[in-house]
């Protein structure tokens, strides 16, 4: 997306186009009842021309508008437009949603850092914006765009700006709570420091060392890299796998597998409909021998509905319902 012709003079409506596109993003951000962008959104991965695929995944038009704004700014940068002109229409989006504005700003600044050794006025403007944004970003939970900018700023900050940067970082993180609090509900600042810790230098986390050490013992997997967005799980994903439940059923019977399924942390997830369908289809005689007992073991009505649907689908199998279908129907109704 660009307002710059391949050849010839500048487009006379370029400034109006920038303002209009930023205005569309602002209107989306300030829409009443609007939810924040999905945790799976990474603006670096959004493509305007791939809107169908993206909308299928995260259902967020706002991120597409943000990507369009960023693409236009990238074309402006490539054409040599000054930073101040590229971002002229952006501050109004901050009034609508400061967090959304900072994500877009962070993505733009990370994509167009000043050249190494550049000491001109524009480089100074970039660092002013980047250092200020770093403080605001660290005061909130990390986003992929924000984390990449924070990492860039902390790694390449000019010496004369380091003291101000570190002051802002410490102010954003706040005071560290005692390590003894790890067994309790942690303050928001502690969880935030934990989430940012993979990219923060050790000196900036000095006060948090005891707390972070205790958290690493309690959460050995550690925090994820904040520079990347988590991948959305398939709606068919389940904590207990089909293979695990099939092995339990083969070793100890369907009731044991049903009890394990009912105790799963995501019991009732849509994916268990397919899991139960395949379990029952693999051994219809065992899974339909005592329908009321299986229903009782599954506990949750949703799991019971998945199971009855699977049992109904297996009814055509000659080994299904050894006690007789009529008996099963009456017993199932009594169990519900």
224 assigned to some structural domain: no
| 185 shares a domain with 124 | yes
| 76 shares a domain with 201 | yes
In this prediction, residues 163-171 reach a mean pLDDT of 95
**Predicted local confidence at residue 212, as pLDDT:** 87
**Predicted local confidence at residue 120, as pLDDT:** 84
230 assigned to some structural domain: no
**Predicted local confidence at residue 92, as pLDDT:** 86
| 187 shares a domain with 320 | no
**Predicted local confidence at residue 3, as pLDDT:** 47
| 265 shares a domain with 143 | no
Q: Residue 151 pLDDT > 90, yes or no?
A: yes
| 44 shares a domain with 159 | yes
208 assigned to some structural domain: yes
226 assigned to some structural domain: no
pLDDT digits (tens, 9 = 90+) for 258-310: 999 999 888 878 888 889 989 998 999 999 898 889 999 998 888 888 888 88
| 162 shares a domain with 266 | no
62 assigned to some structural domain: yes
Please provide the DSSP assignment of 264-317 as one string.
STTTT-THHHHHHHHHHHH-HHHHTTTHHHHHHHH-SHHHHHHHHHHHHHTTTS
pLDDT category at 116 given cuts 50, 70, 90 is: low
**Predicted local confidence at residue 8, as pLDDT:** 47
In this prediction, residues 91-99 reach a mean pLDDT of 88
| 126 shares a domain with 54 | yes
Number of domains making up the chain: 2
| 294 shares a domain with 167 | no
**Predicted local confidence at residue 59, as pLDDT:** 47
Q: Residue 53 pLDDT > 50, yes or no?
A: no
102 assigned to some structural domain: yes
| 268 shares a domain with 131 | no
| 201 shares a domain with 121 | yes
- Is-above-0.75 flag for pTM? no
Cα 77 to Cα 139, 288, 307: the distances in Å are 29, 67, 58
Helices marked H in the chain = 14-29, 51-58, 61-78, 83-86, 91-96, 98-111, 121-138, 144-156, 159-173, 188-196, 209-218, 242-252, 254-262, 271-282, 284-287, 291-298, 301-313, 325-335
Least confident of 2-11, 16-25, 165-174, 230-239: 2-11
| 265 shares a domain with 191 | no
**Predicted local confidence at residue 133, as pLDDT:** 97
In percent, the amount of the chain with pLDDT more than 70 equals 79
235 assigned to some structural domain: no
Domain that holds residue 89: 14-218
17/207: higher pLDDT: 207
Is residue 205 within 8 Å of residue 193, measured between CB atoms?
Answer: yes
223 assigned to some structural domain: no
Average pLDDT, the chain: 82
**Predicted local confidence at residue 28, as pLDDT:** 83
In this prediction, residues 16-31 reach a mean pLDDT of 83
pLDDT category at 10 given cuts 50, 70, 90 is: low
| 148 shares a domain with 275 | no
Q: Of the candidates 203, 218, 233, which is a domain's last residue?
A: 218
Q: Residue 52 pLDDT > 60, yes or no?
A: no
Which one of 63-67, 197-201, 213-217, 332-336 scores highest in mean pLDDT? 197-201
């Amino acid at each position: 997306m660009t307002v710059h012709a391949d050849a010839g003079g500048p487009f006379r409506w370029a400034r109006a186009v920038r303002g209009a596109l930023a205005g569309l993003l602002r209107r989306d951000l300030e829409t009443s009842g609007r939810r924040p962008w999905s945790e799976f959104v990474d603006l670096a991965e959004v493509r305007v021309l791939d809107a169908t695929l993206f909308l299928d995944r995260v259902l967020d038009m706002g991120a597409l508008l943000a990507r369009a704004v960023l693409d236009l700014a990238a074309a402006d940068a490539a054409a040599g437009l000054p930073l101040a002109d590229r971002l002229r229409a952006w501050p109004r989006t901050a009034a609508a949603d400061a967090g959304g504005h900072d994500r877009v700003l962070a993505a733009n600044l990370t994509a167009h850092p000043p050249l190494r050794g550049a000491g001109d006025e524009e480089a100074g403007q970039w660092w002013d914006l980047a250092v200020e944004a770093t403080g605001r970003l660290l005061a909130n939970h990390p986003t992929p765009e924000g984390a990449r900018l924070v990492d860039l700023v902390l790694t390449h900050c000019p010496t004369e700006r380091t003291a101000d940067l570190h002051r802002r970082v410490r102010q954003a993180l706040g005071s560290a709570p005692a390590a003894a609090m790890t067994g309790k509900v942690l303050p928001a600042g502690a969880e935030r420091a934990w989430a940012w810790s993979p990219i923060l230098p050790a000196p900036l986390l000095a006060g948090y060392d005891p707390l972070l050490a205790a958290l690493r013992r309690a959460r050995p997997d550690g925090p994820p890299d904040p520079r990347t967005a988590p991948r959305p799980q398939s709606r068919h994903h389940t904590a207990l796998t089909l293979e695990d439940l099939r092995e339990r059923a083969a070793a100890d019977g369907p009731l044991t597998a049903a009890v394990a399924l009912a105790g799963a942390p995501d019991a009732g997830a849509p994916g268990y409909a397919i899991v139960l369908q395949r379990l029952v289809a693999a051994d219809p005689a065992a899974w339909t021998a005592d329908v009321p007992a299986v229903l009782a073991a599954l506990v949750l009505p949703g799991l019971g509905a998945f199971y009855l649907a699977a049992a109904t689908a297996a009814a055509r199998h000659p080994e299904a319902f050894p006690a007789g279908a009529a008996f099963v129907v009456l017993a199932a109704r009594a169990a519900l």
